[in-house]
């Protein structure tokens, strides 16, 4: 697949998550809630998670923001549900490296749709948009 076709596919994946977000809403029985915002661009998110026995059993988000921010939140919640806390934190670090254009080790991980955000590394001003939900997740897991 050519670079242009791959780029178009990635844009489609991002727009699908933006227009049809997964896990959007409030988790009524969540035991962790984190509110974060990006004052630079106005993106904001409220992430609720349910963590039981060291595992993220559910996660939902609400918020407002650009397509990158909201698509990233959708992808993030899909990815962490069912993961143990350590693995969710590892995914966050891998995502951070990927989004900054750094080398990252994903040998034992399937990043799935998240790889569609890889191109954000070319736009430094958008990195904070893409990482907002992930930072919220990290903060929540550290506070538990």
Q: Check whether 1 has a pLDDT greater than 70.
A: no
pTM over 0.95: no
- The DSSP H or E segment spanning 45 is strand 43-52
Q: State how far the Cα of 127 lies from the Cα of 41, in Å rounded to an integer.
A: 11
pLDDT (0 to 100) of residue 144: 82
Q: Name the least confident of 35-49, 65-79, 96-110, 112-126.
A: 96-110
- In tens, the pLDDT along 109-131 reads 678 899 899 999 999 999 999 99
Q: State how far the Cα of 84 lies from the Cα of 126, in Å rounded to an integer.
A: 28
- Containing structural domain, residue 64: 3-143
Question: Which CATH number covers residue 71?
Answer: 3.90.1010.10
Total domains, the chain: 1
pLDDT (0 to 100) of residue 111: 80
Q: If you average pLDDT over every residue of the chain, what do you get?
A: 92
């Amino acid at each position: 697949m050519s670079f242009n076709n791959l780029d178009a596919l990635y844009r489609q994946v991002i727009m699908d998550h933006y227009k049809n977000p997964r896990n959007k809403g409030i988790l009524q029985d969540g035991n962790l809630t984190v509110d974060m915002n990006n004052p630079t661009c106005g993106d904001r998110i409220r992430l609720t998670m349910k963590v039981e026995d060291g595992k993220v059993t559910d996660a939902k988000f609400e918020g407002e923001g650009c397509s990158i921010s909201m698509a990233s939140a959708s992808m993030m919640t899909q990815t962490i549900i069912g993961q143990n806390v350590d693995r969710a934190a590892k995914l966050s670090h891998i995502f951070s490296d990927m989004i900054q254009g750094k080398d990252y080790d994903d040998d034992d991980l399937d990043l799935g749709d998240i790889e569609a955000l890889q191109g954000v590394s070319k736009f430094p001003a958008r990195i904070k948009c893409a990482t907002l939900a992930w930072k919220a997740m990290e903060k929540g897991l550290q506070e538990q």
